[in-house]
Structure 1
Amino acid sequence: MKKILLLAVFTVLGFANVNAQEIKFGAKAGLNFSTVNGGNSGSIDYVTSQHIGLVSEIPISEKFSFQPEIMYSRQGYSFNNDIVEMNYLNIPLMGKYYVAKGLSLEAGPQIGFLLSAKNEGVKVTNSFTTFDFGANFGLGYTLKNGLNFGARYNLGITKADTDIRNGTFQVSVGYFFIK
């Protein structure tokens, strides 16, 4: 296992070194529309919050790119007008396929770490699992000047507590620092 991990690290580092001049770095921020699904979530509503973070885009070919991100994301839900707020450090690992100049379809896994959770100001972090795994699907558009826009849905796969999973729709605007 250690040999495979070491080989993967050297392969990625070698690949990144070859294409270093093409790698883009940037930042993005936007709105979250989040809720939870499953269990008895029939009377649960969406809450609006925000996300902010850093992104990188690593070209693999003319049509494909890999886009790792690190994001602070406020998520949660409303239940009987009671708002549950969950703060995550999310790491999306997105694959991008460019269908046209600047327009991409995106998909990939996301790993999330629960930083804190509150219910109407009372800390309830122990009520939720600290690790969140999900799958992202979305669209992106990047202008020549580096300004970019995105829309994405994160479908929670692991349970946030005993019977609910996160579900978050995100819209964002970002900027790639062009050399």
Structure 2
Amino acid sequence: MKQTIIATLFTIISFSSIGQSMNVQYGAKAGLNVSVLTGNGAGYMYNLNSWYAGLQASFPLSKVIAFQPELLYSKEGFRGPGMVYNFDYARIPFTFQARHQSGVYAELGAQVGINVKGTAESIDEDIKTDLPELEQFNTALIMGFGYRHAKGFGANFRYSPGLTNIGNEIKSKLNCISVGLFYTLEGRKK
């Protein structure tokens, strides 16, 4: 865990130093997650609605292509018979965006999730249990689109199909649909 935190801080500092020589757009974002378990053993599982929030930095590589890393806190999970399974992740998405001058963009990338906490709650009783058998890391693809207004406001839609199983003994993946809002500030040109 300590190595992951150091690697994340190193990445943020690296992007910050690169951003000083580029026209970088920094911002915040938040939105709604709808996640569900898919794969073996996912029968009788239903989606769970939750939220995400975090920071983003957008590095224009040309007039139409940009690279956007993010750092998000994301609540995800699913519902099963009589139980709700909640997973808290620190998500680090990396996307490449193809932008149109109208503000519309399409994005494609990947994300790594670091498991912060996993719990199972009974719907009928007041019982909450930690889930220690979850994988420490979770990966997913990212496909999406959005709109960025010239004044910095924007909205996006993402689909993130999971690539890795969520637990050591659980041969299922977590898929997530996200809808959110963001606001960016234009960096200084040097």
Residue 77 of structure 2: aligned partner:
76
Choose which of 131, 136, 153 in structure 1 pairs with 2:159. Answer: 153
Choose which of 108, 117, 123 in structure 1 pairs with 2:129. Answer: 123
Distance 1:123 1:112 in 2: 21
Residue 31 of structure 1: aligned partner:
32
Any residues of structure 2 matched to 1:1-179 within 5 Å, and which?
A: 16-19=19-22, 22-120=23-121, 122-161=128-167, 162-178=170-186
Residue 5 of structure 2: aligned partner:
none
Secondary structure of residue in 2 paired with 1:127: coil
Q: CA deviation at 1:13?
A: 7.8
Gaps of 5+ in 1: 1-8
Distance 2:46 2:119 in 1: 16
Gaps of 5+ in 2: 1-10, 122-126
Q: Is the 8 A contact 1:112 1:132 kept in 2?
A: yes
Q: Is the 8 A contact 1:116 1:123 kept in 2?
A: no
Number of aligned residues: 168
Q: CA deviation at 1:93?
A: 0.3
Distance 1:14 1:178 in 2: 16
What is the CA RMSD across the aligned residues, in angstroms? 1.9
Any idea what the Cα deviations from partners look like across 1:61-98, whole Å, max 9, x if unmatched?
Answer: 01100000000000000011411000000000011001
Q: Is the 8 A contact 1:51 1:71 kept in 2?
A: yes
Distance 1:99 1:42 in 2: 41
Q: Is the 8 A contact 2:24 2:186 kept in 1?
A: no
Residue 3 of structure 2: aligned partner:
none
Q: CA deviation at 1:178?
A: 3.3
Residue 124 of structure 2: aligned partner:
none
Distance 2:17 2:152 in 1: 26
Distance 1:77 1:65, change over 3 A: same
Secondary structure of residue in 1 paired with 2:132: helix
With structure 2 as the length reference, what TM-score do the two structures score? 0.82
Distance 1:140 1:75 in 2: 21
Any idea what the Cα deviations from partners look like across 1:134-159, whole Å, max 9, x if unmatched?
Answer: 11100011001100100001111011
Give the fraction of aligned pairs with identical amino acids, expressed as a percent. 25
- Which amino acid in 1 is paired with 2:80? F
Any idea what the Cα deviations from partners look like across 1:72-125, whole Å, max 9, x if unmatched?
Answer: 000000011411000000000011001452111011010000100110052333
Q: Is the 8 A contact 1:93 1:110 kept in 2?
A: yes
Secondary structure of residue in 2 paired with 1:62: coil
Q: Is the 8 A contact 1:142 1:148 kept in 2?
A: yes
